[in-house]
C-alpha cells in the first residue's frame, strides 16, 4: 500500500526558509516516503497525504483531496487561518523546546536591555560620557506577559527567575508559581494597571487583532523607575496599531518599544520605525524555526498518527490558534 507523499510548501524569502534547505532535512527524516517540493507541475495531487507548510498562499492546499494532516512549520497559524479553502484536516503547529528557548532568549534580552538602561549606556559610550545612572533591582519592575501559552509561560518563568515581578494574561485562567495570572476581557485592565514592561506573545486572531492600541498603552503603570512603560511585541504585527505606537512614543505614553513583528513584512524602507530613537527593531527573528528540529518533530508526529496515536499541538480552528 502507498505511504503517500509529503508535500513541502515554503514561502519565506530568507535563508532559513529556503525551500531546498527544508527539502534536504525532510528527505533525511522521511526515508521511506517521497518528499515533494511545491509547486511541482508533474505531481499527482492524490499522492499527497501530508503537507508541511510555511505561509502558503490562500488556495494552495485546496487541490490535495487525500490530505490527512497539515503541519505548519512555525508556531503562529494566522496565515493559514486566513485561507477560507484550507482542507478540513487536523492542522498541527510547532511547539518545541528549541523554539521556546529562542523566544525566551529574545524576551529576556529585551527586558534586560530596557531594565539595565542599555540605550542610555550605549549612547554614553558613543559620546564618551562618564555619567552612570543608578541601576535599580529587577524587583522594581513588573513585567506583564500577554499570552501565557507555550512561549509566554516559559518567558514568564525565566523573568521570574531573574527576580522581576511577573504578571500574565490569557484567555482562560492559569496557575503558574510565582506569577499573578489574569484572564479574559474582565481581567485585562487589572493586568495592564500592574504592568511596567508589556511583552506581547499572543497569537493573531479575530479577537486579538490591533489589541496593542492607545487605550492599552494609557492603562499601563507609570509607577516604576522606568517612568514611562515599555512595549515588547514578538507575537505578530497585526496585533499592533502602528500609528498608535508612534504617537505613544512621541508623546511619552510609551518610553520605548522593542518590535520584532510588523503589519507589513519585510518592514518598508520608509517606515518611521527604522529611525525612531526609542524603537529597538529586529526583523522577525525573535525565534527562528530550526529546520533540523522541526523536520524531526513533523516526522515523529506522522509516525504517531500512523500508529493511531493522537497528534500534539492541533490548532483549534474555532479559536484560531
Ligand atoms: P500558544 O497557542 O501556546 O499560546 C497563546 C496564548 O495566547 C495562550 O495563553 C492563549 O490563552 C492566549 N490568547 C489567545 N487568544 C487570547 C485572547 N483573545 N485573549 C487573551 N489571551 C489569548 O502560542 P505560542 O505561545 O506557541 O505562540 C504565541 C505566538 O507567538 C504565535 O501565535 C506567533 O504569532 C508568535 N511567534 C512569533 C515568533 C517570532 O519569531 N516573532 C516565533 C514563534 C511564535 P489560553 O492559554 O487561555 O488559550
Ligand atoms: C512562528 C514564527 O510563528 O516564526 O513560528 O513567527
Mean pLDDT over 92-99 rounds to 97
Domain assignment of residue 311, yes or no: no
CB of 289 closer than 6 angstroms to any ligand 2 atom: yes
Do 269 and 244 reside in the same domain of the chain? yes
Mean of pLDDT over the chain: 96
Has residue 299 been placed in a domain?
yes
pLDDT at 54 over 80: yes
- Note the pTM of the prediction, 2 decimals: 0.97
pLDDT at 229: 98
Q: How far apart are CA 74 and CA 312, in angstroms?
A: 14
- Name the DSSP class of 309: P
Name the residue range of residue 29's domain. 5-96+289-306
- pLDDT tens, residue by residue, 176-230: 999 999 999 999 999 999 999 999 999 999 999 999 999 999 999 999 999 999 9
Is residue 127 domain-shared with residue 201, that is, in the same domain?
A: yes
Establish whether residue 172 lines the binding site of ligand 1, counting it when its CB lies within 6 angstroms of any ligand atom. Answer: yes
> How far apart, in Å, do the first and last CA atoms of the chain sit?
34
Q: What is the per-residue pLDDT for 31?
A: 85
Whether 126 and 19 map to the same domain: the answer is no
| pLDDT the model gives residue 16 | 86
pLDDT category, 1, cuts 50, 70, 90?
Answer: low
- Cell numbers placing 306: 500512523
Q: For residue 14, what pLDDT is reported?
A: 85
Atom of ligand 2 nearest to the CA of 99: 5
Sign of CA dihedral 74, 77, 79, 83: positive
147 CA distance to ligand 1 centroid (A)?
5
Task: List, for residues 234-270, the tens digit of each pLDDT value.
Answer: 999 999 999 999 999 999 999 999 999 999 999 999 9
Q: Is 183 a catalytic residue?
A: no
Q: Looking at the domain assignment, is residue 320 inside a domain?
A: no
The total number of structural domains in the chain stands at 2
From 34, 102, 284, 317, active-site residue: 284
Look-up of cell digits 519592575: 141
Q: Phi and psi dihedrals of 234, rounded to 5?
A: -120, 15
Cβ–Cβ under 8 Å, residues 46 and 66: yes
132 Cα: distance to centroid of ligand 1 (angstroms): 38
Q: Which residue minimizes the CA distance to atom 2 of ligand 2?
A: 74
Within 13 A of 83's CA, how many CA atoms are on the CB side? 20
Is the pLDDT confidence value at 164 over 80? Answer: yes
Would you say 117 and 135 are in contact if contact means Cβ atoms under 8 Å apart?
Answer: yes
- What mean pLDDT comes out for the span 129-139? 97
Q: Which atom of ligand 2 is nearest to the CA of 261?
A: 6
286 touches ligand 1 (CB under 6 Å): yes
Ligand of minimum distance to the alpha carbon of 284: 1
Does 107 lie in the same domain as 84? no
Please check whether residue 237 is in contact with residue 207, taking contact to mean a CB–CB distance below 8 angstroms: no
Residue 88: CB atoms within 10 Å: 7
287 Cα–ligand 2 center, Å: 7
Residue 312 lies in a domain: no
pLDDT of residue 12 exceeding 90, the answer is no
Cell match 522521511: residue?
30
∠ Cα 262 266 267 (to 5°): 55
C-alpha cell at 300: 515523529
Respond yes or no: is residue 210 known to be catalytic.
no
In short, whether 261's Cβ falls inside 6 Å of ligand 1 is yes
Query: And the C-alpha cell for 103?
Result: 523566544
Q: Tell whether 321 is covered by a domain.
A: no
Q: Write out the three cell numbers for 37.
A: 517540493
CATH of the domain at 125: 3.40.50.720
Amino acid at each position: 500500500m502507498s505511504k503517500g507523499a509529503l508535500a513541502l510548501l515554503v514561502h519565506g524569502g530568507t535563508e532559513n526558509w529556503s525551500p531546498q534547505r527544508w527539502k534536504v532535512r525532510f528527505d533525511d527524516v522521511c526515508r521511506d516516503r517521497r518528499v515533494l517540493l511545491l509547486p511541482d507541475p508533474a505531481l499527482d495531487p492524490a499522492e499527497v497525504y501530508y503537507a508541511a507548510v510555511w505561509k502558503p498562499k490562500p488556495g494552495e492546499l485546496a487541490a490535495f483531496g487525500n490530505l490527512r494532516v497539515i503541519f505548519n512549520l512555525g508556531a503562529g497559524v494566522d496565515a493559514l487561518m486566513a485561507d477560507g479553502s484550507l482542507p478540513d484536516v487536523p492542522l498541527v503547529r510547532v511547539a518545541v523546546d528549541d523554539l521556546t528557548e529562542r523566544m525566551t532568549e529574545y524576551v529576556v534580552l529585551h527586558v534586560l536591555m530596557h531594565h539595565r538602561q542599555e540605550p542610555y549606556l550605549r549612547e554614553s559610550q558613543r559620546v564618551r560620557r562618564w555619567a552612570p545612572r543608578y541601576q535599580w533591582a529587577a524587583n522594581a519592575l513588573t513585567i506583564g506577559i500577554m499570552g501565557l501559552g507555550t512561549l509566554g509561560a516559559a518567558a514568564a518563568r525565566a523573568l521570574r527567575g531573574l527576580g522581576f515581578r511577573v504578571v500574565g494574561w490569557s484567555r482562560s485562567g492559569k496557575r503558574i508559581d510565582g506569577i499573578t495570572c489574569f484572564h479574559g476581557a474582565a481581567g485585562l485592565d487589572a493586568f495592564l494597571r500592574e504592568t511596567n514592561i508589556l511583552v506581547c506573545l499572543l497569537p493573531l486572531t479575530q479577537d486579538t487583532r490591533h489589541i496593542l492600541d492607545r487605550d492599552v498603552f494609557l492603562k499601563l503603570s507609570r509607577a516604576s523607575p522606568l517612568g514611562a512603560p515599555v512595549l515588547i511585541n514578538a507575537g505578530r504585527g497585526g496585533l499592533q496599531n502602528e500609528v498608535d505606537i508612534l504617537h505613544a512614543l512621541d508623546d511619552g505614553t510609551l518610553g520605548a518599544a522593542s518590535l520584532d513583528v510588523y503589519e507589513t513584512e519585510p518592514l518598508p524602507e520608509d517606515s518611521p520605525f527604522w529611525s525612531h530613537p526609542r524603537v529597538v527593531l529586529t526583523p522577525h527573528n525573535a525565534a527562528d524555526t530550526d529546520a533540523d528540529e522541526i523536520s524531526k518533530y513533523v516526522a515523529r508526529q506522522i509516525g504517531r498518527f500512523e500508529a493511531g496515536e493522537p497528534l500534539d499541538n492541533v490548532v483549534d480552528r474555532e479559536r484560531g490558534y
